[in-house]
Amino acid sequence: MSTFEKTNLNRVKRIPKRGHYDKATIYPIIDEALICHVGLIHEGMPVVIPTIHARIGDDILIHGASTSRLMNNSGEGNSVCITITHLDGLVLARSAFNHSMNYRSAVLYGQGSFISDNDEKTSALEAFTEKLVPGRWNDARQPSAKELKATHVVKIPINLASAKVRTGDPGDDKPDYELDVWAGVIPMRTIFGKIIPDPALKNGIELPAYIQEYADSKS
């Protein structure tokens, strides 16, 4: 199935023309993001926690310490809501009321379960590492048995999802187009700064080419 069902839970109600339900739109939003926010109910209270994530197929993966309330709540099969947003530009209209932002956002719903198999858990941790910097997994020391035991990995099948996307110019009221006020879009994007080596690096360790290439691609 390439498109998620529309329900009262995931349907975009405000400006529905901006809503998208197809995986071709939603999954790139997930994959480009380095962080997501996971909403859950903990001891009767709503909680939203930022965390890194990865996607394998139709599953979202999150990980953390075995003592984490996020891990234990989501891994026990409770419903979670995951949100991701990319800000692409500030939209300056002629009227204050019509100012906006260009963005791509996704809202995902599902119930998680713990990954207990060590091979599958290791593959998930590889996905997290490769998401941060492609090529890093094979360069860094991989998790020990003790580290695997201390880490929970939760797999959350995406049961429902929707995206909301705004692009383009300001949308002013017709009379406001006659105002002597500048209007337009200030584009935005995430870039990396200058790479800073660890002061504790052993002598002779050079910056790997894959890291430099990845940083250059985001600069």
Dump pLDDT digits (tens) for 153-177.
Answer: 999 999 999 999 999 999 999 999 9
Nearest residue to 84 (alpha-carbon basis) of 111, 104, 56: 104
Q: How far apart are CA 81 and CA 109, in angstroms?
A: 5
Nearest residue to 207 (alpha-carbon basis) of 195, 216, 217: 195
Q: How far apart are CA 173 and CA 167, in angstroms?
A: 18
| Per-residue confidence (pLDDT) for residue 219, from 0 to 100 | 80
DSSP state for residue 112 in the 8-state scheme: -
DSSP 20-56: E-BHHHHHHHHHH-S-EEEEEEETTEEEEEEE--EEE
Q: What is the pTM of this model?
A: 0.93
Dump pLDDT digits (tens) for 103-158.
Answer: 999 999 999 999 999 999 999 999 999 999 999 999 999 999 999 999 999 999 99
Q: 195 near 207, Cβ under 8 Å?
A: yes
For range 9-33, the mean pLDDT: 97
Nearest residue to 82 (alpha-carbon basis) of 116, 120, 55, 43: 55
Q: Please determine, for residue 1, whether its predicted confidence score (pLDDT) is greater than 90.
A: no
Q: Please identify, in words, the CATH class of the domain defined by 16-188.
A: mainly beta
Q: Please determine, for residue 47, whether its predicted confidence score (pLDDT) is greater than 90.
A: yes
Domain map of the chain by residue range? 16-188
Q: How far apart are CA 159 and CA 139, in angstroms?
A: 35
Strands (E) across 67-111 are located at 79-92, 100-111
